Amino acid sequence: MVTLTPPQIRGLKLARDGDLYLQESKKWTHLYATITFAKADRFQERPIKIKFVTTATVGELRTSGLLKTLDPGADPDISPHGITMAGKMWLLKHK
């Protein structure tokens, strides 16, 4: 049984939405993540921030077996990461 912290849970949910790629300043997010806009009320839109995960959190999730590198031959610190079946099952059980 793996116990995760709230940042690790957010990182796992972010990986469930798509593969994680290394961006500037040691942050991981989706490949072409941009600021999107959501309707706040009838006439205005508000920006929704880009969600990201730190390198330390990605490393912890990788060592616990919930994330995997997509390119096994490359350096795991810069290689894109995807969620494993164990990560998907953890999210289903602990939603």
The reported pLDDT for the residue numbered 68 is 94
Report the pLDDT averaged over residues 86-91.
93
Q: What is the CA radius of gyration of the chain?
A: 15
Q: What is the mean pLDDT of residues 13-22?
A: 92
Query: Taking Cα atoms as reference points, which of 21, 1, 6 lies closest to residue 67?
Result: 21
Contact of 83 with 11, CB cutoff 8 Å: no
How many helices and strands (H and E) does the chain possess?
3, 7
Residue in the block written with tokens 């490949």? 31
Specify the pLDDT at position 44.
67
Contact 86, 66 (CB under 8 A): yes
Q: For the chain, what is the mean pLDDT?
A: 87
What tens digit of pLDDT does each residue of 18-64 get?
899 998 888 999 888 887 777 666 666 777 788 899 999 999 999 99
